[in-house]
């Protein structure tokens, strides 16, 4: 039991590592918490700190989900504990202890976690994300599309009722985290993807 508790704590701490914030600060000299949307994720890293920082943020956020869960899975012996571990990595990213409860929207980290747990469904959802972003250049719209598509795809690849339920919960959580983006989309005010740190603090999105 103590091992499982330790695994859960480590999962949350791994998820809490704010890679985007660290890369932006030490490579580009930009504080993502005070730039653009104030988010520590890939999109804001691209906007505020450029393609290098954005790409590093994407890669490391995916890896902390994929590798983090892969390593912790070595100490887990039940499916439900594996699912909880994955959820805690995602929650850590969105509610980081290192940022006093702030965080990102966990699209990349969720992708990493689900790449381990349910690869075919999340890869199809990722393809839909890529198509939507390519057509609209609106990352949040692609993320919302993937968040809706993934749980709908899950039953075709996994018959585990608990996992299907968790998949719907993850999708709903992702949509909830994008609630401000949804409001801007409805007002046709959502910004398109751009690069290079031109979003000033005074222009920070709410």
pLDDT tens for 88-145 read 999 999 999 999 999 999 999 999 999 999 999 999 999 999 999 999 999 999 999 9
What is the mean predicted confidence (pLDDT) over 177-182?
A: 94
Give me the pLDDT at residue 37, please. 83
| Residue 24 in domain | yes
Q: How much of the chain, in percent, has pLDDT values that exceed 70? A: 93
Q: How many residues does the chain have?
A: 206
pLDDT band for 195, please (50, 70, 90 cuts). low
Q: What is the pTM of this model?
A: 0.90
In the predicted model, is pLDDT for residue 191 greater than 90? no
| Residue 203 in domain | no
pLDDT band for 194, please (50, 70, 90 cuts). low
Residue 195 phi, psi (nearest 5): -125, 155
| Residue 205 in domain | no
pLDDT band for 17, please (50, 70, 90 cuts). very high
pLDDT (tens digit per residue) in 23-42: 999 999 999 999 988 899 99
| Residue 189 in domain | yes
pLDDT band for 199, please (50, 70, 90 cuts). very low
Give me the pLDDT at residue 202, please. 31
In the predicted model, is pLDDT for residue 203 greater than 70? no
Give me the pLDDT at residue 55, please. 95
| Residue 204 in domain | no
Give me the pLDDT at residue 192, please. 83
Domain count, the chain: 1
| Residue 206 in domain | no
**Widest distance between CA atoms in the chain:** 50
Residue reference for tokens 């469904």: 121
Residue reference for tokens 């989309």: 185
Domain that holds residue 88: 2-195
Q: How much of the chain, in percent, has pLDDT values that exceed 90? A: 84
Burial class (CB in 10 A: 0-12, 13-18, 19+), 83: buried
| Residue 201 in domain | no
| Residue 78 in domain | yes
Q: Which two tokens stand for residue 102?
A: 């702030």
Rg, Å, the chain Cα set = 17
């Amino acid at each position: 039991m103590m091992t499982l508790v330790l695994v859960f704590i480590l999962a949350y701490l791994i998820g809490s590592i704010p890679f985007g914030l660290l890369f932006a600060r030490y490579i580009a000299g930009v504080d993502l918490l005070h730039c653009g949307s104030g988010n520590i994720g890939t999109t804001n890293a691209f906007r505020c700190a450029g393609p290098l920082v954005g790409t590093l943020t994407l890669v490391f956020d995916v890896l902390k989900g994929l590798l983090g869960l892969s390593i912790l899975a070595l100490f887990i012996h039940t499916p439900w504990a594996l699912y909880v571990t994955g959820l805690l990595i995602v929650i850590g990213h969105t509610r980081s202890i290192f940022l006093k409860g702030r965080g990102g929207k966990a699209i990349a980290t969720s992708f990493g976690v689900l790449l381990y747990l349910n690869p075919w469904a999340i890869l199809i959802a990722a393809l839909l994300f890529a198509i939507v972003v390519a057509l609209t250049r609106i990352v949040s719209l692609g993320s919302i599309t993937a968040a809706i598509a993934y749980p709908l795809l899950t039953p075709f690849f996994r018959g585990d009722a608990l996992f299907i339920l968790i998949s719907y919960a993850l999708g709903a959580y992702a949509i909830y985290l994008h609630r401000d983006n949804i409001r801007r989309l409805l007002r046709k005010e959502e910004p398109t993807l751009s690069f290079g740190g031109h979003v000033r603090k005074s222009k920070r999105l709410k």
